[in-house]
Amino acid sequence: EVLLVESGGGSVQPGGSLGLSCAASGFTFNNFAMSWVRQAPGKGLEWVSSITGNGDITFYADSVKGRFTASRDNSNNRLYLHMNSLRAEDTAVYFCARFAVSIHSFDVWGQGTMVTVSS
Amino acid sequence: EIVLTQSPGTLSLSPGERVTLSCKASQYVTSSYLAWYQQKPGQAPRLLIYGASTRAAGIPDRFSGSGSGTDFTLTINRLEPEDFAVYYCQQCGSSPWTFGQGTKVEIK
């Protein structure tokens, strides 16, 4: 079974840092680009970041550029998102998603992990 | 940035009805890069349609997608109880990748 499981969410004060992890299983991890997509409470979906299969290229939304860093460990089938200088507007459920280049879409999603930025 | 505008914001319908959801792009989107997702409360999104018109694996044939350029449509024939959800269109042809704001299909 193809599965993505996020972890690492929690509460943090504005200006703080947090790291998210996504464990992948059931597919050849390094064959796929991976992404983070977030959803603020009661709001729509926002693409955050993507990373290529071998991890050599990363892309970020302007809203997180310079503050968030995506990385991956292909030997352990894990995707990461390190978040610095967190703001209240970063409060959201963060989903990791597999990007299937062949169909140009997110074909597998994790269940999400909640990040709350509040004093 | 390509802005995707979905309409209407909310639809109130009964099971068995046919529904058409609209997604209009602020700039041209290559059909290959337009997808539709379904999201139910407390759940992750699920891929329904990719390439504007191709159903993803396991998606019932009552779901269909169409359109090109800047106008795309998701149609659901004969709404089933499990189809009441929020639907998002999304493009990955131009960075940043963007989602529409969503259309909620609720039970009348």
pLDDT for A107 equals 97
Residue A94 in 3-state DSSP?
A: strand
Which chain B residues have a beta carbon less than 8 Å from that of A37?
Answer: 45
Average the pLDDT over B7-17 and give the result: 95
Q: Letter for the amino acid at A85?
A: S
pLDDT digits (tens, 9 = 90+) for B14-35: 999 999 999 999 999 999 999 9
Q: Could you identify the residue written with the tokens 């802005």? A: B3
Query: How many Å lie between the alpha carbon of B88 and the closest alpha carbon of chain A?
Result: 8
Alpha-carbon distance A62 to A66, whole Å? 9
Check residue B6 and give its pLDDT: 98
pLDDT band at B51 (very low <50, low <70, confident <90, very high): very high
A-chain CB neighbours of B90 within 8 Å are 45, 47, 105-106
Whole-number Å distance between alpha carbons of A73 and A34: 12
Q: Test B88 with A47 for CB contact under 8 angstroms.
A: no
Closest C-alpha to A57, from A74, A33, A73 = A33
State the CB neighbour count (10 A cutoff) for residue B102: 21
Find chain A residues with C-beta within 8 A of B92's C-beta.
99, 104-105
Interface check for A104 against chain B (CB to CB < 8 A): the answer is yes
State phi, psi for B32 to the nearest 5 degrees.
Answer: -60, -20
**CA dist list (Å): B103 to A21, A82, A116, B61, B66:** 30, 31, 26, 20, 17
Whether B47 sits inside 8 A of A105 (CB atoms) is yes
